[in-house]
């Protein structure tokens, strides 16, 4: 039986005086892919930012059964990586240098080099561009680089915020295959916020559907796909 890796209990968060999410409770087990779905403004990205300690929140974040104080530095050390939306890469650095920055918390240069080499093998498209500047890459390649950089710390849990935003259907398929490979081969749990529901649901173990800052449904990926909950949420009927 899989153990709970991360659990949120009555999490509320927002920006300035405006609350975006209200009393959110959810969990992800070891090795799962869990999707957060819902219309714009539902609070999906806010949940990831609150988990990673980027915004103030109330409620509890439990990691491996222990209550934690969420800060990016402490979470990276515990095995959590966060890849924000927007393909944020260092344009004036090479692909390889971007990956090395992802291993900033490693004190062992040999281990950092080993992980860079491993990720180059995992992402052949990046290996071919390893000495080129990140700013010269295509949008899909930059997104792969963002994900690869997040993996430099060998996380147990990967938080992905809109990884296919603005990408072509061909690249979208490649990104989702990459997520599935990371999950299966490296046993990394993934929480993903995504708008491309048709591609995401088939690889999802469980999904949470949000509306107005609250969870309105949760089930397996296939069950959510067969239900009418997403249609009702996106049509504003909930």
CATH of the domain at 181: 3.40.50.300
Per the structure, the complete domain to which residue 55 belongs is given by: 4-86+147-234
pLDDT in tens, 115-154: 999 999 888 999 999 999 999 999 999 999 999 999 999 9
In a domain, 16, yes or no: yes
Residues 14-21, mean pLDDT to the nearest whole number = 92
- 8 Å CB contact between 43 and 20: yes
In a domain, 114, yes or no: no
Distance CA 71, CA 76 (A): 9
In a domain, 109, yes or no: no
pTM (whole model) above 0.95: no
Q: Which helix (H) or strand (E) holds 186?
A: helix 169-186
In a domain, 66, yes or no: yes
In a domain, 133, yes or no: no
How many domains are there within the chain?
A: 1
DSSP state, residue 2: P
In a domain, 34, yes or no: yes
Residue 85 has pLDDT above 80, yes or no: yes
In a domain, 31, yes or no: yes
94 pairs with which residues across the strands? 133
């Amino acid at each position: 039986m899989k153990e709970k890796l991360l659990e949120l209990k009555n999490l509320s968060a927002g920006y300035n005086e405006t609350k975006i999410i209200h009393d959110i409770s959810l969990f992800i087990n070891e090795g799962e892919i869990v999707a957060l779905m819902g219309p714009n403004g539902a609070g999906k990205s806010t949940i990831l930012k609150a988990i990673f300690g980027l915004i103030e929140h109330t409620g509890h974040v439990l990691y491996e059964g222990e209550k934690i104080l969420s800060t990016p530095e402490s979470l990276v050390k515990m095995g959590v990586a966060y890849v924000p939306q927007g393909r944020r890469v260092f344009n004036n650095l090479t692909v390889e240098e971007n990956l090395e920055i992802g291993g900033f918390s490693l004190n062992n240069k040999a281990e950092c080099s080993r992980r860079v080499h491993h990720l180059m093998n995992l992402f052949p498209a990046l290996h071919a561009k390893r000495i080129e500047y990140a700013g010269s890459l295509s949008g899909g390649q930059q997104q792969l680089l963002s994900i690869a950089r997040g993996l430099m710390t060998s996380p147990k849990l990967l938080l992905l915020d809109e990884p296919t935003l603005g990408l072509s259907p061909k690249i979208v398929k490649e990104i989702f295959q990459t997520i599935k490979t990371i999950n299966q081969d490296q046993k990394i749990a993934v929480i993903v916020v995504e708008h491309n529901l048709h591609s995401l649901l088939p690889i999802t173990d469980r999904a949470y559907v949000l509306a107005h800052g609250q969870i309105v449904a949760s089930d397996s990926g296939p069950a959510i796909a067969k239900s009418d909950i997403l249609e009702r949420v996106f049509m504003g009927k909930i």
